[in-house]
């Protein structure tokens, strides 16, 4: 569990590096704090998707990027594939919220896969969301019901 949390945190920190356009030589400095799922996030999900997030969330973390978004074109499509358009936020500082889901699935090989719901915030407004796979292979997915995600991945 702790190993998966560490891996998940590394995925988020790497995501911040990608968002800020950092090369491997540049460092991303971030402040990380524990946070609970808020009513604002529930309302955002209901408004955007027409239903509340049906997954049970653990307390999560918020990471404050100290680097402004500076997207290079090769990264734009990675976020657009999961429904997040960051072009309007170039030059802004983002907050990244990550909430580990209590649900996990088993692959056909018997590997347990855990997931987190990620929200991006700019200037106090939620601007995007997606799911991440919290294992070494990682992966980003459009936000969807946990049942649809498990079906997409072929796990139970």
pLDDT digits (tens, 9 = 90+) for 18-77: 444 443 333 344 567 888 888 888 888 889 888 766 676 778 888 887 666 766 666 667
**Residue 71: what pLDDT?**
63
66 vs 143, higher pLDDT: 143
pLDDT at 92 over 80: yes
Cα 55 from Cα 99, distance rounded (Å): 10
* Strand-pair partners of 122: 94, 125
**Residue 68: what pLDDT?**
67
Cα 62 from Cα 46, distance rounded (Å): 21
The backbone torsions φ and ψ at residue 4, rounded to the nearest 5 degrees and listed phi first, read: -65, -35
* Domain boundaries along the sequence of the chain: 2-153
CA-to-CA separations, 80 to 43, 113, 144, in angstroms, rounded: 22, 24, 15
Look up the pTM and report it: 0.75
Rounded average pLDDT over 117-128: 92
Reference 55, options 21, 105, 5, 124; nearest CA is 105
């Amino acid at each position: 569990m702790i190993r998966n949390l560490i891996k998940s945190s590394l995925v988020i920190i790497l995501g911040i590096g990608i968002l800020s356009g950092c090369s491997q030589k540049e460092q991303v400095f971030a402040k990380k704090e524990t946070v609970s799922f808020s009513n604002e996030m529930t309302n955002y999900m209901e408004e955007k998707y027409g239903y509340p997030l049906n997954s049970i969330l653990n307390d999560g973390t918020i990471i404050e990027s100290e680097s402004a978004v500076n997207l290079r074109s090769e990264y734009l499509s990675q976020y657009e594939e999961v429904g997040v358009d960051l072009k309007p936020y170039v030059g802004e500082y983002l907050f990244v919220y990550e909430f580990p889901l209590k649900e996990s699935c088993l692959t056909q090989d018997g590997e347990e896969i855990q997931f987190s719901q990620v929200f991006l915030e700019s200037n106090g407004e939620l601007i995007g969301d997606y799911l991440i796979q919290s294992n070494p292979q990682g992966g980003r997915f459009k936000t969807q019901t946990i049942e649809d995600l498990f079906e997409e991945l072929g796990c139970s």
